[in-house]
A and B are shown apart, each in its own frame.
Chain A
Amino acid sequence: QSALTQPRSVSGSPGQSVTISCTGTSSDVGGYNYVSWYQQHPGKAPKLMIYDVSKRPSGVPDRFSGSKSGNTASLTISGLQAEDEADYYCCSYAGSYTHVVFGGGTKVTVL
């Protein structure tokens, strides 16, 4: 069982928006503004999409955005495209003992 809770799957049609939630506790997501999100296509390594809750690395489309409220972080994909179909994982800093925790992953399906 993962430390952070994500929905198993979400889906949307091309052009629509989807939002993936990531629920933790006050010891991780709620306690720090240090949440990151990763995209993983089948058979490939994960790719950093969001860090520090809402910052995008260079090269990541601005269709991807992140936010946080309390113990729940969210990743929104606007203007969904076929190539966005992938697994997405959230990750949070969780203090000096646990350090890093991942969510269980969410499969995004483009209908």
Chain B
Amino acid sequence: QLQLQESGPGLVKPSETLSLTCAVSGGSISSSSYYWGWIRQPPGKGLDWIGSIYYSGSTYYNPSLKSRVTISVDTSKNQFSLKLSSVTAADTAVYYCARLSGSGSGYYYYYYYMDVWGKGTTVTVSS
């Protein structure tokens, strides 16, 4: 059974870089059938798409965060990571990692729905 586990500092200072890792167990991150993504949820608010990555390194980012976000993958460790730079209090949230499955055919195959989620990790931005 596939499991995802987020890890990283729970407290980050303003203007610094938030770094999180998602460890994948029970399956290979190198599967050609999935993308791997990050989603966050500010306190009391809705879900916010951050971005996703394929095992080859191909990425998609939320345009509103793109200038500050880097998602990377380490197939040897079966994990992927998130870096968010120049954080402010608005970046305080529960951060989830997830597996993305897709639909379509051929060139028009889109990885867009999250069928396996991690439990989430809370990150607070404060001095």
Chain A: residues with CB nearer than 8 A to chain B? 2, 32, 34, 36, 38, 45-48, 51-52, 57, 89, 91-93, 96-105
How far, in Å, is B86 (CB) from chain A's closest CB? 22
- Bound Cα distance A97, B64 (Å): 11
Q: 1/0 contact trace for B108-119 toward A, CB 8 Å?
A: 001011110111
Contact B115 A51 (CB under 8 A): yes
Which A residues touch B115, using CB under 8 A? 48, 51, 57
Q: 1/0 contact trace for B90-118 toward A, CB 8 Å?
A: 00000010000101100000101111011
B residues 34-62 touching A (CB-CB < 8 Å): 37, 39, 46-49, 51-52, 60-62
- Bound Cα distance A66, B62 (Å): 26
How far, in Å, is B2 (CB) from chain A's closest CB? 13
Contact A36 B110 (CB under 8 A): no
Contact B103 A46 (CB under 8 A): no
Chain B: residues with CB nearer than 8 A to chain A? 37, 39, 46-49, 51-52, 60-63, 96, 101, 103-104, 110, 112-115, 117-120
Given contacts A45-B117, A52-B103, A97-B63, contact A36 B112 (CB under 8 A): yes
Cross-chain pairs A/B with CB under 8 angstroms, 24 sampled:
A32-B110, A34-B103, A34-B112, A36-B113, A36-B114, A38-B47, A38-B114, A45-B96, A45-B119, A46-B47, A46-B96, A48-B114, A48-B115, A51-B115, A52-B113, A91-B112, A91-B114, A92-B112, A99-B52, A99-B61, A100-B37, A102-B49, A104-B46, A105-B47
